[in-house]
Structure 1
Amino acid sequence: MLETSLRCGELIGLTYNDVNLEKKELYVTHQLTYRNYQDGEGCKFRIKKTKTDAVLYALKDFLIKWLGSLLEHTT
């Protein structure tokens, strides 16, 4: 979070599809929110577009290594 300046909702909304390890890029196009939207369904998680347009972050080598090891352990 400190390396990319992501907001909390953007960080927890990330998926593996948002990361390109070969290009060392992270794409932020959505965020995960949890609140009561007053639609009668109560509080729940929802995916929303980010406040700004899609953002592309260049990932540093230590993040690439860490994310790569996460991907190895989840497949």
Structure 2
Amino acid sequence: MDIFMPEMGGLEATRIIRNAGKMNGKPIIALTANTIPGDQETFLKAGMDDYLAKPATKDELLLMLSHESVL
């Protein structure tokens, strides 16, 4: 989930998806180019499972999707 999308940011979109009960058990991984201290907590509170800083590699994303990644 891109954090900075037009019209609706990734945090808001994630909250809506999680509150609607959609994608239960499916990982939502934040993608952002602007990582700052506190991002991890913000993303987790919004319902995301993990995050990657851009540019991310395919291998990094696949690792997170396999649930082998630990925050």
Which TM-score tier does this pair reach, normalised by the shorter chain?
under 0.3
Larger Rg: 1
| TM-score, length of structure 2 as denominator length | 0.27
Higher strand share: 1
